[in-house]
Amino acid sequence: MATTASFDSAISRSLSLRPSQPQNPVIGHGDGTNFEALWDTLRSALREIHEKNASKLSFEQLYRASYKIVLRKQGDQLYDRVKEFEEQWFAAHVMPSIRKLITNNLVNITLGGVAGTAATANERRLMGEEFLKGLKASWEDHITIMNMTTDVLMYMDRVYCADNRRASIFTTAMGLFRDHILRFPLAGNGANLMTFDILNSVILDQIGMEREGDVINKHLLRSCIYVLEGLFETDAEVENDKLYLTVFEVEFLRSSRAFYKNECANLLQDANASVWLRQTKRRLDEEQVRCQTTVSILTSAKIAKVVEEELISRNLLEFLAMEGSGIKSMIENDRFEDLEALYQLISRVDPSKGLLKEALQSRAIAMGHEINKTIQNTDWSAVAAPAAPEDGSNPVANKATSKGSRKTVGNHQTIAAIAWVDDVLRLKDKFDKMWVKCFDSDLILQTAITKAFSDFINVFDRCSEYVSLFIDDNLKKGIKGKTEPEIDIVLNKATTLIRYITEKDLFERYYKKHLARRLLHGKSESADVEKQMITRMKMELGSAFTQKLEGMFKDMTMSEDLTCGYRNHIRSLGDVDHKQVELSINVLTSNHWPMESMGGNMTKEGEARQNCTWPPEINTLQESFKKFYLEERNGRMLTWLGFLGNADVKVTFPKIPGKEGLLCRERRYELHIPTYGMMVLLLFNDLQEGATLSFEEIQERINIPTQELVRSLQPLSIIPKCKVLTKIPANKEVKPGDIFGFNSSFISKAIRIKVPVVAGLVNKVEDAEERKVTEERNQQNRSHLIDSVIVRIMKARKTTTHSSLFTEVITQLSQRFKPDISMMKKRIESLIEREYMIRVEEATQPTYSYLA
Amino acid sequence: MTIKCGGAVFAAHKIVVLPQSKVLAAAFRNFIEGESGEIDLEEDDPIYVRKMLEFCYKQEYTLGLGEVGSALISHTHLYILGDKYDITPLREHAKANYEEILESTKTQDSKYFLESIETLYEFTCRSDDELRCIAKTVICNRLTEFIMMDSWRDLSDRIANDILAWVARRYILFPKEKLWNVSARNSQTKLGQCPQCKIENKELLQQQPTGWTCRECW
């Protein structure tokens, strides 16, 4: 008591100092009855607030009341009373109205997923909407009410709740809604259902209706989802504990999975791949929209995953394999839209796109094999003309037909080669277009396609030759009249093909052969384009590859200079001899030029080519040039290659007395013939009129290979256009034993006659025998290469294991070709025999050591 | 908006006052005050309400001539208003003023000081102890002085007990703490190894005869 008294006196003292201050009723009245009075005020105010009459209340009074209670440390009582009030309010006013909306039908749907007997889909939807509307309204009321309540109890929230680490009254009230409304047990159905179960089932039912095509009230659904997003498992309100995530989303994903599983099964049974693609795409879009408009954006990745798993991944193989609509048919019929959709779907589920990759690859290979097979099986002599497609190979085909019956198997083969390249390029175009249009220029798929092409091209054993022929054809005639960009396209195509070829050495061999012919016979259309092609190859395959090819070009330019120089040299000598033969010469560095393949099959027959007997006129010329040439380049050896040259020969036919027309005049013709042909004709120069020479005589006098001689005589004695020689017997074939004479009664309308070059000098596909030779030569070349690579490696490493040696050899040679393992083994054996290296006996792994 | 208070009527701008006080803002949202545009703070002292409004406009308030002696009381009341209406800057401002006066107050002012303590205990909660701590620290520092005074005996038991606990804490349980805190405030500290206990990375304080030491070796 003493304390109270002194306290009062202290107050009165302070009051006496400040007489204006009103009596503060709080002071000195901190007892229990006062709390009840204050709470009564607050409780009736809360009731008013709940009945939406807040605007009639004085905030100041209510705030002051709660302020006082808290100052008196009765905050806990106040908190509990408010909570209790809220619980009672839910039980008495809110829940009953919601309970009314939960009809037996809704309960049945929730329990069994089947609507009650009388409920049509429409009725069901309306019933569900009623329930959702009720729930939504009570939630919105609750939020408004609790906002106001929180305002009134602000001091309690700020001071009492913070001090005692209690959740704010708002949070608690949200928890109450969760516990007393959503988790309100619905008695009398025997299944422990809660309002929450009904809510889930109604929302899912509505979404289900929408998936079937009905129109639903998305906005209403979204509002109810908001309720779940605003409520948490505990009053701690952890973000991941949203009721939406913990309860609804789980249910939603589960039911969606079931739905899509079922849909996928239906699609597999009734639809085709195209429908499937469209439906899946539509479903994915729909679900994204649903996440934005109906459920929560939080779910969008998860539901997309469900759709992806159920509609895409699970039965992808089956859909791809569908007869008539699967990937095979999409590719074959250029269904770009389908392919694009397919690519997008597969990219979603599998970043490595394994299945698509495999499918594409196997399709490309299958289509490639188809081309290979067609080319091999077609009888080109029968279909040469019609088979020639509209573009590149056309001139060839026309020419081939115009040649009439003289067409050889080789010519048909050439057409086949070009047709093959065209087909391959067309396939490549198709896949390229697909790749850009449908596959978003995907790198993984590009690799796959490239590999597939490389595979089937290399399976075709003539690919190197065919590609080289294709280039040959284009560089000869194909680019005539084409603009620069068009030429560029052709070159690009050629480069693409070269890239695919693994046996680059074989290709180089063919290219060299074909290039040599083009250069020496002046068949090349444009030196510029030739150079461009070389540059491209240099970029693609490296300079080692093109070194010799460039050497060939260099020889050609050097030779031009030489010819010119020689001409000047002769002129400067002053003795202008009219009988002098003009010389245009090509000096070829034997290293750079494919001598064997240029010389036909002479080497095979073992005949040295330089031992032919040159006519005296030519011999003089040769000596003169040799002298000129070796003046500056001492120590070189010149070999004359008669079979490669050409000559312009003026032939004079005397008038034949007693004949009329052209024959009665003297006729001069200029013949353009191969060097050998010229040599043959020169023999007839010195002959008595009417004298003849037999085949054997000719051969003996000029000493050239039989086959070459046949080739030289054939046009001169058989083709009417240039039949300057007579032949006995006068049949279509030149054979040893035939007898030839000067055809003095030859006439021609043209002054200049070009003697056609008989097969052998035109670039064409090799026949089986030639092919064998080329391959043998190539194998030989390879074995040398392998030898040198092995020796180089061994020299650097001194000792190395068998496996690492092999790996190294394969890596080093992969630019040129894929070395054959058994060949490598043989080369090692041979190197050991030749004592370049030895086996290390005591090593655990097979190891070799280099012998210096 | 109009603020009535014990006969006085103040006119103020909602746009100025409401953003500074969540409580007043809530009053003008949904309730009758929102409709009428006036609020009656019937139990607050118009003198201080006036200063509170002044603060809302100026971020400071001035004391009247008659209040100079009892400035501590005024600051205490404004501190309480700042708490009640949730105007944190006002609380801080009043607290700073209060502390400033205490640092220069002589013994003769101590009766206002004790009175302000009484008010403080009545109108704030235990958790809101910033101003209380300042007051209690002053009592600790001048304990003998206060105990001799008559008005000390008039202090309520509750407050006296609280102060006693504070004193005990300061002088018996954590004596070093207090000295350290006072010294640390007046001189510089640094981080490093304590030369006495050899523990690394301690906060060190310079002590005149012995040099640098950590809190434990003080």
Q: Report the predicted TM-score, pTM, of the whole model to 2 decimal places.
A: 0.63
Whole-number pLDDT of residue A816: 74
Whole-number pLDDT of residue A85: 92
Average pLDDT (A739-761) is 72
Would you list the domain boundaries of chain B?
A: 1-62, 70-173, 183-218
Binned at pLDDT 50, 70 and 90, residue A257 comes out as very high
Average pLDDT (A588-600) is 67
Strands ordered across the beta sheet of B211-214? B189-192, B202-207, B211-214
Amino acid at A472: D
Residue of A376 and A435 predicted with greater confidence:
A435
Average pLDDT (A757-776) is 66
Pairing of strands B211-214, B202-207: antiparallel
Amino acid at A848: Y
Distance CA A105, CA A103 (A): 5
Residues in chain A, how many?
Answer: 852
Q: Do A22 and B118 touch (CB under 8 A)?
A: no
Average pLDDT (A311-315) is 85
Distance CA A462, CA A563 (A): 38
DSSP B138-200: HHHHTHHHHHTSHHHHHS-HHHHHHHHHHHHIIIII-HHHHHHHHHHHHS-EEEE--TTT--S
CB within 8 A of A788, min separation 6: which ones? none
> Is residue A145 over pLDDT 50?
yes
Q: Do B30 and A55 touch (CB under 8 A)?
A: yes
Whole-number pLDDT of residue A18: 36
CB atoms within 10 A of CB A784: 11
Whole-number pLDDT of residue A550: 84
Q: Mapped to the 3 state alphabet, what secondary structure does A82-150 carry?
A: HHHHHHHHHHHHHHHHHHHHCCHHHHHHHHHCCCCCCCCHHHHHHHHHHHHHHHHHHHHHHHHHHHHHH
Average pLDDT (A424-441) is 86
Average pLDDT (A355-367) is 85
Whole-number pLDDT of residue B179: 57
Among candidates A10, A55, A163 on the partner chain, residue whose Cβ is nearest the Cβ of B115: A10
Shortest distance, CA B131 to any CA of chain A (angstroms): 16
Q: Mapped to the 3 state alphabet, what secondary structure does A604-656 carry?
A: HHCCCHHHCCCCHHHHHHHHHHHHHHHHHCCCCCCCCCHHHCEEEEEEEECCC
> Is residue B82 over pLDDT 80?
yes
Binned at pLDDT 50, 70 and 90, residue B209 comes out as low
Distance CA A72, CA A69 (A): 5
Question: Residue A630 is encoded by which pair of tokens?
Answer: 């070796």
Mean pLDDT for chain A overall: 78
Closest residue of chain B to A67, computed from CA coordinates = B84
Residue of A429 and A5 predicted with greater confidence:
A429
Closest residue of chain B to A30, computed from CA coordinates = B122
Binned at pLDDT 50, 70 and 90, residue A555 comes out as confident
Distance CA A533, CA A527 (A): 10
Q: Do A25 and B43 touch (CB under 8 A)?
A: yes
> Tell me: the pLDDT tens digits for A679-688?
877 777 777 7
Helix, strand counts (H, E) of chain B = 12, 6
Question: Residue A187 is encoded by which pair of tokens?
Answer: 């008695």
> Is residue A269 over pLDDT 70?
yes
CB A55 within 8 A of CB B31: yes
Distance CA A277, CA A336 (A): 12
Listed in sequence order, the DSSP H helices in A294-439 are: 300-307, 316-320, 327-332, 336-349, 354-377, 380-387, 394-402, 409-437
Distance CA B38, CA B11 (A): 9
Binned at pLDDT 50, 70 and 90, residue A777 comes out as confident
Which residues of B are less than 8 Å from A158 in CB distance? 86
Helix, strand counts (H, E) of chain A = 38, 9
Average pLDDT (A373-391) is 56
CB A327 within 8 A of CB A359: yes
> Tell me: the pLDDT tens digits for B93-146?
988 888 888 777 655 566 777 788 888 888 877 667 777 777 777 777 777 777
Among candidates A10, A21, A25 on the partner chain, residue whose Cβ is nearest the Cβ of B118: A10
Whole-number pLDDT of residue A707: 74
Q: Do A162 and B31 touch (CB under 8 A)?
A: no
> Is residue A461 over pLDDT 80?
no
CB within 8 A of A763, min separation 6: which ones? A414, A469, A472, A473, A476, A513, A514, A517, A518
Closest residue of chain A to B81, computed from CA coordinates = A67
> Is residue A608 over pLDDT 70?
no
Amino acid at B195: P
Instruction: Select from B43, B86, B156 the residue whose CB has the most chain A CBs within 10 Å, as the one to mutate to test that interface.
Output: B43
Q: Do A3 and B157 touch (CB under 8 A)?
A: yes
Burial class (CB in 10 A: 0-12, 13-18, 19+), B113: buried
Average pLDDT (A230-245) is 84
Instruction: Select from A7, A17, A27, A59 the residue whose CB has the most chain B CBs within 10 Å, as the one to mutate to test that interface.
Output: A59
Report helix, strand or coil for A481.
coil
Question: Residue B27 is encoded by which pair of tokens?
Answer: 């009053």
Whole-number pLDDT of residue B10: 92
Residues in chain B, how many?
Answer: 218
> Is residue A604 over pLDDT 60?
no
Instruction: Select from A8, A60, A78, A154 the residue whose CB has the most chain B CBs within 10 Å, as the one to mutate to test that interface.
Output: A60
> Is residue A273 over pLDDT 60?
yes
> Is residue A761 over pLDDT 80?
no
Shortest distance, CA B16 to any CA of chain A (angstroms): 19
Distance CA A149, CA A143 (A): 10
Q: Of A75-89, A432-446, A808-822, which gets the smallest average pLDDT?
A: A808-822
Whole-number pLDDT of residue A764: 59
> Is residue A17 over pLDDT 50?
no
CB A467 within 8 A of CB A500: no
Distance CA A827, CA A568 (A): 53
Q: Do B70 and A148 touch (CB under 8 A)?
A: no
Distance CA B12, CA A631 (A): 119
CB atoms within 10 A of CB B139: 22
Average pLDDT (A310-337) is 82
Q: Do B31 and A13 touch (CB under 8 A)?
A: no
> Is residue A609 over pLDDT 60?
no
Whole-number pLDDT of residue A384: 42
Cα distances (angstroms) measured from residue A672 to each of A49, A243, A282, A584, A752:
118, 98, 74, 14, 7
Question: Peptide bond preceding A729: is omega within 30 degrees of 0, i.e. cis?
Answer: yes
Whole-number pLDDT of residue B54: 92
**Interface residues from chain B to A (CB-CB < 8 Å):** 6, 22-23, 26-35, 39-43, 45-47, 70, 73, 84, 86, 114-115, 118-119, 122-128, 151, 153-157
**What ipTM was estimated for this complex?**
0.79
Whole-number pLDDT of residue A773: 77
Question: Residue A645 is encoded by which pair of tokens?
Answer: 């040259």
Give the gyration radius of chain A's Cα atoms.
Answer: 50
Cα distances (angstroms) measured from residue A277 to each of A272, A326, A342, A431:
9, 10, 7, 21
Average pLDDT (A650-670) is 73
The percent of residues above 90 in pLDDT, for chain A, comes to 2
Burial class (CB in 10 A: 0-12, 13-18, 19+), A150: middle
CB B25 within 8 A of CB B31: no
Burial class (CB in 10 A: 0-12, 13-18, 19+), B170: buried
CB B44 within 8 A of CB A64: no
Residue A76: alpha-carbon gap to chain centroid: 71
> Tell me: the pLDDT tens digits for A479-532?
677 788 888 888 888 888 888 887 777 888 888 888 887 887 777 777 788 888
CB A247 within 8 A of CB A204: no
> Tell me: the pLDDT tens digits for B15-61?
999 999 999 998 898 888 888 888 988 888 888 999 999 999 998 88
> Is residue A116 over pLDDT 60?
no
Which residues of B are less than 8 Å from A60 in CB distance? 27, 33, 39-42
Whole-number pLDDT of residue A360: 85
Q: Do B70 and A17 touch (CB under 8 A)?
A: yes
**Topology, domain B1-62:** Potassium Channel Kv1.1; Chain A (3.30.710)
Pairing of strands A752-754, A667-674: parallel
Shortest distance, CA A52 to any CA of chain B (angstroms): 10
The CA dihedral of A663, A666, A672, A673, to the nearest 10 degrees, is: 70
Q: Do A159 and B73 touch (CB under 8 A)?
A: no
> Is residue A11 over pLDDT 50?
no
Which residues of A are less than 8 Å from B31 in CB distance? 54-55, 57-59, 62, 148, 151
Whole-number pLDDT of residue A823: 83
> Tell me: the pLDDT tens digits for B135-189?
777 777 777 777 777 777 777 777 878 788 777 776 666 656 555 565 555 566 6
> Is residue A10 over pLDDT 50?
no
Whole-number pLDDT of residue B117: 82
